[in-house]
Structure 1
Amino acid sequence: MKTSSALRKKPALKRVKVRFGRPPKELAGEVDARILNAARKVFLERGLEGASIDEIAEVARSGKPTIYARFRDKRALFTAVVTRDILSRIAEFKVEVPTGATIEARLISAASTLLHWGLDGERIALMRLAIAEARRFPDLASTVGRTARDLSTELGVRLLGELTQSDELRSLPAFAPKQLTTTARFFLDLIAVPMLFRALFEADLKTLDAEIDAHVARSVPFFLAACRRGGVS
Protein backbone atom coordinates (compact mmCIF):
# COMPACT_ATOMS: atom_id res chain seq x y z
CA MET A 1 0.00 0.00 0.00
CA LYS A 2 1.34 3.41 -1.02
CA THR A 3 2.01 5.84 1.76
CA SER A 4 0.48 9.28 1.77
CA SER A 5 3.92 10.80 1.12
CA ALA A 6 4.36 8.65 -1.97
CA LEU A 7 1.00 9.81 -3.26
CA ARG A 8 2.03 13.42 -3.02
CA LYS A 9 2.24 15.13 -6.37
CA LYS A 10 5.79 15.72 -7.60
CA PRO A 11 6.66 19.36 -8.28
CA ALA A 12 6.45 20.28 -11.96
CA LEU A 13 9.76 20.79 -13.76
CA LYS A 14 10.50 24.40 -14.57
CA ARG A 15 10.35 24.98 -18.31
CA VAL A 16 13.45 26.63 -19.75
CA LYS A 17 12.92 29.16 -22.50
CA VAL A 18 15.10 28.74 -25.57
CA ARG A 19 15.61 31.85 -27.69
CA PHE A 20 16.09 31.83 -31.41
CA GLY A 21 16.99 34.53 -33.93
CA ARG A 22 19.61 37.24 -33.75
CA PRO A 23 22.24 37.03 -31.03
CA PRO A 24 22.19 39.56 -28.19
CA LYS A 25 23.78 42.93 -28.92
CA GLU A 26 26.97 42.08 -27.06
CA LEU A 27 27.53 39.11 -29.40
CA ALA A 28 26.25 40.64 -32.64
CA GLY A 29 29.45 42.58 -33.26
CA GLU A 30 31.54 39.43 -32.81
CA VAL A 31 29.35 37.58 -35.31
CA ASP A 32 29.61 40.40 -37.85
CA ALA A 33 33.40 40.51 -37.49
CA ARG A 34 33.66 36.73 -37.87
CA ILE A 35 31.60 36.80 -41.07
CA LEU A 36 33.59 39.69 -42.56
CA ASN A 37 36.93 38.09 -41.64
CA ALA A 38 35.85 34.81 -43.22
CA ALA A 39 34.57 36.58 -46.34
CA ARG A 40 37.85 38.47 -46.74
CA LYS A 41 39.79 35.20 -46.48
CA VAL A 42 37.62 33.44 -49.07
CA PHE A 43 37.50 36.43 -51.46
CA LEU A 44 41.29 36.72 -51.38
CA GLU A 45 41.72 33.01 -52.06
CA ARG A 46 38.93 32.51 -54.63
CA GLY A 47 38.20 35.94 -56.07
CA LEU A 48 34.67 37.31 -56.23
CA GLU A 49 33.42 34.81 -58.82
CA GLY A 50 34.99 31.78 -57.17
CA ALA A 51 33.81 32.62 -53.66
CA SER A 52 30.53 31.18 -52.40
CA ILE A 53 28.32 31.97 -49.44
CA ASP A 54 28.45 28.27 -48.52
CA GLU A 55 32.23 28.36 -48.11
CA ILE A 56 32.14 31.70 -46.31
CA ALA A 57 29.55 30.31 -43.88
CA GLU A 58 31.74 27.27 -43.24
CA VAL A 59 34.86 29.36 -42.60
CA ALA A 60 32.88 31.75 -40.38
CA ARG A 61 31.32 28.85 -38.44
CA SER A 62 27.99 30.50 -39.12
CA GLY A 63 24.76 29.53 -40.87
CA LYS A 64 23.81 30.93 -44.26
CA PRO A 65 20.61 32.46 -42.81
CA THR A 66 22.77 34.43 -40.36
CA ILE A 67 24.82 35.83 -43.27
CA TYR A 68 21.78 36.64 -45.40
CA ALA A 69 20.15 38.38 -42.43
CA ARG A 70 23.03 40.85 -42.54
CA PHE A 71 24.02 40.98 -46.21
CA ARG A 72 21.60 40.86 -49.13
CA ASP A 73 23.91 38.82 -51.37
CA LYS A 74 27.55 38.12 -52.17
CA ARG A 75 27.99 41.53 -53.81
CA ALA A 76 26.77 43.29 -50.66
CA LEU A 77 29.13 41.18 -48.56
CA PHE A 78 32.06 42.01 -50.87
CA THR A 79 31.20 45.73 -50.63
CA ALA A 80 31.16 45.48 -46.81
CA VAL A 81 34.53 43.73 -46.73
CA VAL A 82 36.19 46.30 -49.00
CA THR A 83 34.66 49.21 -47.10
CA ARG A 84 35.73 47.88 -43.72
CA ASP A 85 39.21 46.71 -44.62
CA ILE A 86 40.26 49.69 -46.71
CA LEU A 87 38.27 52.70 -45.50
CA SER A 88 37.75 51.82 -41.83
CA ARG A 89 41.41 50.88 -41.41
CA ILE A 90 42.49 54.31 -42.70
CA ALA A 91 40.10 56.06 -40.31
CA GLU A 92 41.32 53.94 -37.37
CA PHE A 93 45.03 54.42 -38.02
CA LYS A 94 46.82 55.84 -35.02
CA VAL A 95 50.45 56.85 -34.80
CA GLU A 96 52.17 58.26 -31.77
CA VAL A 97 53.78 61.59 -32.50
CA PRO A 98 57.44 60.61 -32.89
CA THR A 99 60.20 62.35 -31.05
CA GLY A 100 63.25 63.63 -32.89
CA ALA A 101 65.80 66.39 -32.81
CA THR A 102 64.37 68.01 -35.96
CA ILE A 103 61.05 68.25 -37.78
CA GLU A 104 62.68 66.35 -40.64
CA ALA A 105 63.52 63.40 -38.37
CA ARG A 106 59.98 63.38 -36.93
CA LEU A 107 58.36 63.52 -40.35
CA ILE A 108 60.58 60.72 -41.68
CA SER A 109 59.69 58.53 -38.71
CA ALA A 110 55.94 59.20 -39.05
CA ALA A 111 55.90 58.72 -42.83
CA SER A 112 57.85 55.46 -42.64
CA THR A 113 55.44 54.11 -40.01
CA LEU A 114 52.47 55.07 -42.18
CA LEU A 115 53.87 53.39 -45.30
CA HIS A 116 54.97 50.18 -43.58
CA TRP A 117 51.46 49.93 -42.11
CA GLY A 118 49.66 50.84 -45.33
CA LEU A 119 51.49 48.41 -47.62
CA ASP A 120 50.33 45.37 -45.70
CA GLY A 121 50.09 42.31 -47.97
CA GLU A 122 46.42 41.45 -47.34
CA ARG A 123 45.31 45.08 -47.61
CA ILE A 124 47.08 45.47 -50.96
CA ALA A 125 45.64 42.16 -52.19
CA LEU A 126 42.13 43.33 -51.33
CA MET A 127 42.72 46.64 -53.11
CA ARG A 128 43.90 44.73 -56.18
CA LEU A 129 40.73 42.63 -56.07
CA ALA A 130 38.56 45.73 -55.74
CA ILE A 131 40.31 47.30 -58.74
CA ALA A 132 39.85 44.10 -60.77
CA GLU A 133 36.11 44.23 -60.06
CA ALA A 134 35.78 47.96 -60.80
CA ARG A 135 33.80 47.41 -64.00
CA ARG A 136 31.15 45.41 -62.16
CA PHE A 137 31.27 47.67 -59.09
CA PRO A 138 31.71 51.18 -60.56
CA ASP A 139 29.96 52.87 -57.64
CA LEU A 140 32.05 50.96 -55.12
CA ALA A 141 35.28 51.75 -56.96
CA SER A 142 34.56 55.48 -57.20
CA THR A 143 33.30 55.69 -53.61
CA VAL A 144 36.28 53.81 -52.20
CA GLY A 145 38.75 55.88 -54.23
CA ARG A 146 37.20 59.20 -53.30
CA THR A 147 36.63 58.33 -49.65
CA ALA A 148 40.10 56.81 -49.24
CA ARG A 149 41.60 60.04 -50.57
CA ASP A 150 39.49 62.16 -48.21
CA LEU A 151 40.29 59.99 -45.17
CA SER A 152 44.00 59.88 -45.93
CA THR A 153 44.02 63.67 -46.33
CA GLU A 154 42.36 64.04 -42.91
CA LEU A 155 45.01 61.71 -41.51
CA GLY A 156 47.74 63.83 -43.12
CA VAL A 157 46.25 67.04 -41.71
CA ARG A 158 46.18 65.56 -38.22
CA LEU A 159 49.72 64.24 -38.50
CA LEU A 160 51.23 67.46 -39.86
CA GLY A 161 49.30 69.56 -37.38
CA GLU A 162 50.63 67.56 -34.44
CA LEU A 163 54.20 67.42 -35.73
CA THR A 164 54.56 71.14 -36.46
CA GLN A 165 52.88 72.61 -33.37
CA SER A 166 56.16 73.35 -31.58
CA ASP A 167 58.38 73.96 -34.58
CA GLU A 168 59.40 76.95 -36.63
CA LEU A 169 57.28 75.53 -39.48
CA ARG A 170 54.04 76.54 -37.80
CA SER A 171 54.75 80.13 -38.83
CA LEU A 172 55.03 79.21 -42.51
CA PRO A 173 52.04 79.83 -44.85
CA ALA A 174 51.99 76.14 -45.85
CA PHE A 175 51.07 75.16 -42.28
CA ALA A 176 48.43 77.82 -41.70
CA PRO A 177 45.05 76.25 -40.82
CA LYS A 178 43.43 77.30 -44.10
CA GLN A 179 46.33 75.86 -46.12
CA LEU A 180 47.03 72.68 -44.15
CA THR A 181 44.67 70.45 -46.14
CA THR A 182 46.47 71.31 -49.40
CA THR A 183 49.85 70.81 -47.74
CA ALA A 184 48.80 67.43 -46.35
CA ARG A 185 47.61 66.29 -49.77
CA PHE A 186 50.90 67.37 -51.33
CA PHE A 187 52.77 65.46 -48.62
CA LEU A 188 50.80 62.25 -49.29
CA ASP A 189 50.96 62.58 -53.09
CA LEU A 190 54.73 63.00 -52.90
CA ILE A 191 55.51 60.32 -50.32
CA ALA A 192 52.68 57.77 -50.07
CA VAL A 193 51.03 57.60 -53.50
CA PRO A 194 54.11 56.52 -55.53
CA MET A 195 54.77 53.59 -53.18
CA LEU A 196 51.10 52.61 -53.12
CA PHE A 197 50.96 52.67 -56.92
CA ARG A 198 54.01 50.42 -57.11
CA ALA A 199 52.55 48.09 -54.49
CA LEU A 200 49.43 47.56 -56.58
CA PHE A 201 51.45 46.44 -59.61
CA GLU A 202 54.53 44.79 -58.13
CA ALA A 203 54.24 41.25 -56.81
CA ASP A 204 57.17 41.31 -54.40
CA LEU A 205 56.00 43.50 -51.52
CA LYS A 206 58.92 42.45 -49.33
CA THR A 207 61.37 44.09 -51.73
CA LEU A 208 59.20 47.18 -51.87
CA ASP A 209 58.93 47.28 -48.08
CA ALA A 210 62.72 47.34 -47.85
CA GLU A 211 62.78 50.47 -50.04
CA ILE A 212 60.33 52.49 -47.94
CA ASP A 213 62.79 54.07 -45.52
CA ALA A 214 65.16 55.24 -48.28
CA HIS A 215 62.24 56.64 -50.30
CA VAL A 216 60.93 58.57 -47.30
CA ALA A 217 64.41 59.85 -46.39
CA ARG A 218 64.72 61.33 -49.93
CA SER A 219 61.20 62.72 -50.15
CA VAL A 220 60.75 64.45 -46.79
CA PRO A 221 63.61 66.99 -47.28
CA PHE A 222 62.17 67.84 -50.71
CA PHE A 223 58.74 68.37 -49.14
CA LEU A 224 60.13 70.59 -46.39
CA ALA A 225 62.19 72.64 -48.83
CA ALA A 226 59.06 73.30 -50.91
CA CYS A 227 57.14 74.35 -47.77
CA ARG A 228 59.91 76.70 -46.61
CA ARG A 229 60.19 78.34 -50.04
CA GLY A 230 56.45 78.80 -50.49
CA GLY A 231 56.16 76.11 -53.16
CA VAL A 232 53.01 74.50 -51.70
CA SER A 233 49.87 76.35 -52.69
Structure 2
Amino acid sequence: MKTSNLKKLPAAKAKRAKVRFGRPPKELAGEVDARILDAARKVFLERGFEGASVDEIAEVARSGKATIYARFRDKRALFTEVVTHDILARITEFSAELPTGATIEERLTSAASTLLHWGLNSERIALMRLAIAETRRFPDLASTVSRSARDLSTELGVHLLSELTKSDELRSLPAFAPEHLTSTARLFLDLVAVPMLLRALFEADLRTLDPEIDEHVTRSVAFFLSACRHGAS
Protein backbone atom coordinates (compact mmCIF):
# COMPACT_ATOMS: atom_id res chain seq x y z
CA MET A 1 0.00 0.00 0.00
CA LYS A 2 1.34 3.45 -0.96
CA THR A 3 2.36 5.89 1.71
CA SER A 4 0.70 9.27 1.22
CA ASN A 5 2.83 12.27 0.32
CA LEU A 6 1.78 13.94 3.54
CA LYS A 7 3.15 11.03 5.57
CA LYS A 8 6.48 11.30 3.78
CA LEU A 9 6.92 14.91 4.89
CA PRO A 10 8.90 15.71 8.02
CA ALA A 11 6.67 16.20 11.04
CA ALA A 12 7.04 19.99 11.04
CA LYS A 13 6.15 20.28 7.34
CA ALA A 14 3.19 17.94 7.73
CA LYS A 15 1.93 20.09 10.57
CA ARG A 16 2.25 23.23 8.47
CA ALA A 17 0.34 21.57 5.63
CA LYS A 18 -2.52 20.73 7.96
CA VAL A 19 -2.66 24.22 9.40
CA ARG A 20 -2.65 25.80 5.95
CA PHE A 21 -6.02 24.31 5.01
CA GLY A 22 -7.75 24.69 8.34
CA ARG A 23 -9.85 27.55 9.62
CA PRO A 24 -7.91 30.61 10.76
CA PRO A 25 -7.73 31.52 14.45
CA LYS A 26 -11.01 32.93 15.75
CA GLU A 27 -9.60 36.44 16.02
CA LEU A 28 -8.75 36.39 12.28
CA ALA A 29 -11.94 34.72 11.03
CA GLY A 30 -13.85 37.99 10.69
CA GLU A 31 -11.05 39.52 8.64
CA VAL A 32 -10.94 36.50 6.34
CA ASP A 33 -14.73 36.53 5.86
CA ALA A 34 -14.68 40.24 5.03
CA ARG A 35 -11.83 39.74 2.56
CA ILE A 36 -13.68 36.93 0.79
CA LEU A 37 -16.93 38.88 0.54
CA ASP A 38 -15.12 41.98 -0.69
CA ALA A 39 -13.31 39.97 -3.36
CA ALA A 40 -16.50 38.17 -4.38
CA ARG A 41 -18.36 41.46 -4.72
CA LYS A 42 -15.65 42.83 -7.01
CA VAL A 43 -15.57 39.73 -9.20
CA PHE A 44 -19.36 39.38 -9.42
CA LEU A 45 -19.71 43.05 -10.38
CA GLU A 46 -17.06 42.72 -13.06
CA ARG A 47 -17.97 39.28 -14.46
CA GLY A 48 -21.60 38.76 -13.51
CA PHE A 49 -22.71 35.57 -11.78
CA GLU A 50 -22.15 33.28 -14.76
CA GLY A 51 -18.73 34.68 -15.62
CA ALA A 52 -17.38 34.70 -12.07
CA SER A 53 -15.41 31.74 -10.77
CA VAL A 54 -14.45 30.68 -7.27
CA ASP A 55 -10.87 30.35 -8.52
CA GLU A 56 -10.74 34.05 -9.43
CA ILE A 57 -12.48 35.06 -6.21
CA ALA A 58 -9.92 33.06 -4.22
CA GLU A 59 -7.09 34.76 -6.10
CA VAL A 60 -8.48 38.26 -5.51
CA ALA A 61 -9.15 37.43 -1.86
CA ARG A 62 -5.63 35.99 -1.45
CA SER A 63 -7.29 32.93 0.02
CA GLY A 64 -7.47 29.23 -0.79
CA LYS A 65 -10.56 27.71 -2.38
CA ALA A 66 -10.77 25.35 0.59
CA THR A 67 -11.13 28.36 2.88
CA ILE A 68 -13.98 29.71 0.76
CA TYR A 69 -15.77 26.36 0.56
CA ALA A 70 -15.42 25.95 4.32
CA ARG A 71 -17.66 29.02 4.64
CA PHE A 72 -19.89 28.88 1.56
CA ARG A 73 -21.40 25.75 0.08
CA ASP A 74 -20.94 26.88 -3.53
CA LYS A 75 -20.87 29.93 -5.79
CA ARG A 76 -24.64 30.39 -5.44
CA ALA A 77 -24.35 30.57 -1.65
CA LEU A 78 -21.50 33.06 -1.94
CA PHE A 79 -23.48 35.25 -4.35
CA THR A 80 -26.49 35.17 -2.03
CA GLU A 81 -24.34 36.22 0.94
CA VAL A 82 -22.69 39.05 -1.03
CA VAL A 83 -26.04 40.50 -2.11
CA THR A 84 -27.61 40.07 1.32
CA HIS A 85 -24.65 41.51 3.20
CA ASP A 86 -24.06 44.49 0.95
CA ILE A 87 -27.68 45.57 0.68
CA LEU A 88 -29.10 44.63 4.08
CA ALA A 89 -26.15 44.83 6.44
CA ARG A 90 -25.21 48.24 5.14
CA ILE A 91 -28.69 49.59 5.92
CA THR A 92 -28.17 48.66 9.55
CA GLU A 93 -24.71 50.22 9.45
CA PHE A 94 -26.04 53.58 8.30
CA SER A 95 -25.65 56.14 11.02
CA ALA A 96 -25.50 59.86 10.77
CA GLU A 97 -25.62 62.51 13.43
CA LEU A 98 -29.09 63.90 13.75
CA PRO A 99 -29.08 67.18 11.85
CA THR A 100 -29.68 70.48 13.54
CA GLY A 101 -31.75 73.23 11.99
CA ALA A 102 -34.03 76.09 12.82
CA THR A 103 -37.12 74.21 11.58
CA ILE A 104 -38.32 70.63 11.27
CA GLU A 105 -38.29 71.14 7.47
CA GLU A 106 -34.57 71.92 7.56
CA ARG A 107 -33.77 68.96 9.81
CA LEU A 108 -35.79 66.48 7.78
CA THR A 109 -34.42 67.80 4.50
CA SER A 110 -30.86 67.51 5.75
CA ALA A 111 -31.39 63.98 7.06
CA ALA A 112 -33.11 62.77 3.87
CA SER A 113 -30.44 64.28 1.62
CA THR A 114 -27.70 62.60 3.65
CA LEU A 115 -29.53 59.26 3.39
CA LEU A 116 -29.96 59.52 -0.38
CA HIS A 117 -26.41 60.61 -1.13
CA TRP A 118 -25.19 57.73 1.02
CA GLY A 119 -27.62 55.17 -0.40
CA LEU A 120 -27.13 55.89 -4.09
CA ASN A 121 -23.61 54.52 -4.02
CA SER A 122 -22.48 53.26 -7.43
CA GLU A 123 -21.33 49.82 -6.23
CA ARG A 124 -24.45 49.29 -4.12
CA ILE A 125 -26.71 50.19 -7.05
CA ALA A 126 -24.67 47.98 -9.40
CA LEU A 127 -25.11 45.04 -7.03
CA MET A 128 -28.86 45.66 -6.85
CA ARG A 129 -28.99 45.66 -10.66
CA LEU A 130 -27.08 42.38 -10.71
CA ALA A 131 -29.45 40.80 -8.16
CA ILE A 132 -32.44 41.88 -10.26
CA ALA A 133 -30.82 40.55 -13.44
CA GLU A 134 -30.33 37.17 -11.76
CA THR A 135 -33.94 36.91 -10.54
CA ARG A 136 -34.66 33.87 -12.72
CA ARG A 137 -31.61 32.05 -11.38
CA PHE A 138 -32.31 33.15 -7.78
CA PRO A 139 -36.13 33.43 -7.65
CA ASP A 140 -36.29 34.07 -3.91
CA LEU A 141 -33.26 36.30 -3.45
CA ALA A 142 -34.52 39.56 -4.96
CA SER A 143 -37.92 39.37 -3.25
CA THR A 144 -36.41 38.40 0.12
CA VAL A 145 -33.84 41.18 -0.03
CA SER A 146 -36.51 43.66 -1.14
CA ARG A 147 -38.84 42.81 1.75
CA SER A 148 -36.02 42.79 4.29
CA ALA A 149 -34.61 46.08 2.99
CA ARG A 150 -38.06 47.63 3.25
CA ASP A 151 -38.44 46.45 6.86
CA LEU A 152 -34.96 47.63 7.88
CA SER A 153 -35.31 51.01 6.18
CA THR A 154 -38.70 51.48 7.86
CA GLU A 155 -37.07 50.88 11.24
CA LEU A 156 -34.46 53.47 10.32
CA GLY A 157 -37.22 55.90 9.31
CA VAL A 158 -39.11 55.36 12.56
CA HIS A 159 -35.99 56.12 14.57
CA LEU A 160 -35.23 59.19 12.47
CA LEU A 161 -38.73 60.64 12.69
CA SER A 162 -39.13 59.93 16.40
CA GLU A 163 -35.83 61.66 17.17
CA LEU A 164 -36.38 64.65 14.88
CA THR A 165 -39.90 65.35 16.10
CA LYS A 166 -39.16 64.79 19.78
CA SER A 167 -38.93 68.52 20.53
CA ASP A 168 -41.25 69.74 17.79
CA GLU A 169 -44.97 70.45 17.55
CA LEU A 170 -45.28 67.56 15.11
CA ARG A 171 -45.10 65.00 17.92
CA SER A 172 -48.67 65.96 18.90
CA LEU A 173 -50.02 65.20 15.42
CA PRO A 174 -51.86 61.90 14.79
CA ALA A 175 -49.34 60.87 12.12
CA PHE A 176 -46.58 60.80 14.74
CA ALA A 177 -48.51 58.93 17.41
CA PRO A 178 -46.75 55.67 18.36
CA GLU A 179 -49.44 53.53 16.71
CA HIS A 180 -49.08 55.42 13.40
CA LEU A 181 -45.35 56.12 13.32
CA THR A 182 -44.37 53.00 11.35
CA SER A 183 -46.87 53.81 8.59
CA THR A 184 -45.76 57.45 8.60
CA ALA A 185 -42.10 56.47 8.30
CA ARG A 186 -42.89 54.13 5.40
CA LEU A 187 -44.82 56.89 3.60
CA PHE A 188 -41.92 59.27 4.15
CA LEU A 189 -39.41 56.83 2.63
CA ASP A 190 -41.73 55.94 -0.26
CA LEU A 191 -42.09 59.62 -1.06
CA VAL A 192 -38.47 60.68 -0.57
CA ALA A 193 -36.27 57.65 -1.28
CA VAL A 194 -38.08 55.27 -3.62
CA PRO A 195 -38.39 57.58 -6.67
CA MET A 196 -34.67 58.36 -6.61
CA LEU A 197 -33.79 54.71 -6.08
CA LEU A 198 -35.81 53.75 -9.17
CA ARG A 199 -34.11 56.50 -11.14
CA ALA A 200 -30.70 55.25 -9.98
CA LEU A 201 -31.41 51.70 -11.14
CA PHE A 202 -31.90 52.95 -14.70
CA GLU A 203 -29.28 55.69 -14.89
CA ALA A 204 -26.01 54.73 -16.55
CA ASP A 205 -24.16 57.51 -14.72
CA LEU A 206 -25.32 58.12 -11.16
CA ARG A 207 -23.55 61.47 -11.10
CA THR A 208 -26.38 62.88 -13.17
CA LEU A 209 -28.68 62.42 -10.17
CA ASP A 210 -26.55 64.35 -7.68
CA PRO A 211 -27.80 67.83 -8.69
CA GLU A 212 -31.41 66.63 -8.48
CA ILE A 213 -31.35 65.02 -5.05
CA ASP A 214 -31.54 68.15 -2.90
CA GLU A 215 -34.35 69.71 -4.96
CA HIS A 216 -36.32 66.45 -4.92
CA VAL A 217 -35.88 66.11 -1.15
CA THR A 218 -36.95 69.70 -0.50
CA ARG A 219 -40.18 69.26 -2.49
CA SER A 220 -40.93 65.85 -0.97
CA VAL A 221 -40.36 66.96 2.63
CA ALA A 222 -42.62 70.00 2.14
CA PHE A 223 -45.38 67.78 0.72
CA PHE A 224 -44.93 65.17 3.47
CA LEU A 225 -45.13 67.69 6.31
CA SER A 226 -48.12 69.43 4.76
CA ALA A 227 -49.97 66.10 4.57
CA CYS A 228 -49.08 65.26 8.18
CA ARG A 229 -50.24 68.67 9.44
CA HIS A 230 -53.55 68.33 7.64
CA GLY A 231 -54.42 65.07 9.28
CA ALA A 232 -53.04 62.40 6.95
CA SER A 233 -51.59 59.39 8.81
TM-score, scaled to structure 1: 0.91
1:42 corresponds to 2:26: no
The alpha carbon displacement at 1:141 in A equals: 1.2
The letter for the 2-side match of 1:199 is A
The letter for the 2-side match of 1:194 is P
Corresponding residue of 2:151: 150
Deviations 1:148-174, CA, capped at 9 Å, x for gaps: 000010000000010000000000000
- Whole-angstrom CA distance in 2 between matches of 1:162 and 1:41: 37
- Whole-angstrom CA distance in 2 between matches of 1:207 and 1:139: 32
Corresponding residue of 2:207: 206
Corresponding residue of 1:175: 176
Corresponding residue of 1:92: 93
The alpha carbon displacement at 1:115 in A equals: 0.2
> What are the within-5 Å matches in structure 2 for residues 184-203 of structure 1?
184-203=185-204
- Whole-angstrom CA distance in 2 between matches of 1:150 and 1:231: 22
- Whole-angstrom CA distance in 1 between matches of 2:232 and 2:204: 35
SS in 2 for 1:136: coil
The alpha carbon displacement at 1:231 in A equals: 1.7
| Larger helix proportion of the pair | 2
- Whole-angstrom CA distance in 1 between matches of 2:205 and 2:174: 40
The alpha carbon displacement at 1:204 in A equals: 1.6
The alpha carbon displacement at 1:91 in A equals: 1.2
The letter for the 1-side match of 2:98 is V
1:229 corresponds to 2:230: yes
- Whole-angstrom CA distance in 2 between matches of 1:202 and 1:22: 42
- Whole-angstrom CA distance in 1 between matches of 2:130 and 2:141: 12
Unaligned runs of 5+ in 1: 1-14
> What are the within-5 Å matches in structure 2 for residues 1-233 of structure 1?
18=16, 20=19, 21-232=22-233
Root mean square deviation of aligned Cα: 1.2
Paired residues in the alignment total 218
- Whole-angstrom CA distance in 2 between matches of 1:211 and 1:30: 38
Corresponding residue of 2:7: none
- Whole-angstrom CA distance in 2 between matches of 1:95 and 1:224: 22
The alpha carbon displacement at 1:138 in A equals: 1.1
The letter for the 2-side match of 1:175 is F
- Whole-angstrom CA distance in 1 between matches of 2:92 and 2:65: 30
SS in 2 for 1:138: coil
Deviations 1:184-209, CA, capped at 9 Å, x for gaps: 00000000000000100111200112
Q: Does the 8 Å contact 1:119/1:209 carry over to 2?
A: no
Kindly name which structure, 1 or 2, has the bigger radius of gyration based on alpha carbons. Answer: 1
SS in 1 for 2:44: helix
The alpha carbon displacement at 1:210 in A equals: 1.8
Q: Does the 8 Å contact 1:44/1:125 carry over to 2?
A: yes
Deviations 1:42-84, CA, capped at 9 Å, x for gaps: 0000000000000000000000000000001100000000011
Q: Does the 8 Å contact 1:38/1:59 carry over to 2?
A: yes
Runs of 4+ residues over 6 Å off in structure 1? none
- Whole-angstrom CA distance in 2 between matches of 1:145 and 1:102: 33
